[in-house]
A = this chain, B = another copy of it.
């Protein structure tokens, strides 16, 4: 199947970060994500975001973390798992996930060929990998206003700077701020 050039392709990030830019603390814990009381369990736009998504792209680490969650499989969309070490998707998840390999460009071509165009790029390493290839169009970053001091960073080194613009900003739970950044066209 050929890719249709007139379908709008978009690679989006939807992630929570500490105020100092960490997505997990130094022990890999994300308990601090829940440091703000959320009695009504509001989703801060997650369902609305996911409704616009055709497929999810994540790294092996994130995939295995989600597989091990003590809950139902959380995605209705096909998940593409980036891995050079995983030989195959475990049989329990073969109807949910596909393995992809290669450069970002090759991976995107494989996914677009299957007619998935609006992609949710998830997991710290995968996001950094896509950013290094300038392959992220939109980032919705929910900042939990805690300074952790150390941990696993959302952003990493880049071959050259990347310019976005903040298109939208919302405050949730009287303290959490969510900013939506769109890539500036060159």
Nearest CB to that of A148 among chain B residues? Answer: B161
Indicate if the CB atoms of A20 and B19 lie closer than 8 Å: no
Number of copies: 2
Would you call A177 an interface residue if the criterion is a C-beta within 8 Å of the partner chain's C-beta atoms? yes
Specify which of B20, B32, B131, B166 is in contact with A143 (CB 8 Å cutoff).
B166
Q: How far is the CA of A155 from the CA of B148 in the complex (A)?
A: 10
Closest to A166 in B: B177
- Could you tell me which A residues sit within 8 Å of B by CB distance? 19-21, 25, 32, 35-36, 131, 143, 145-150, 154-171, 174-177, 179, 181, 184
CB of A155 within 8 A of CB of B21, answer yes
What residue of chain B has the Cβ atom nearest to residue A169's Cβ? Answer: B169
The 6 closest A-B pairs by CB, nearest first: A165-B175, A149-B158, A166-B177, A20-B155, A145-B164, A169-B169
Given A19-B155, A21-B20, A155-B21: A146 and B166 interface contact (C-beta under 8 Å): no
Cα distance, A92 to B174, chains bound together (Å): 47
Nearest-CB residue, chain B, relative to A160: B149
The answer to whether B169 and A146 touch across the interface, beta carbons within 8 angstroms, is no
Q: Are B166 and A175 in contact (CB under 8 A)?
A: yes
Name which of A20, A25, A176 has the most chain B CB atoms within 10 A of its CB.
A20
Cβ distance A11 to chain B, nearest Cβ, rounded Å = 15
Q: What are the residues of chain B within 8 A of A181 when measuring CB–CB?
A: 19, 145
User: In the complex the two chains form, what is the Cα distance from A64 to B120 in whole Å?
Assistant: 46
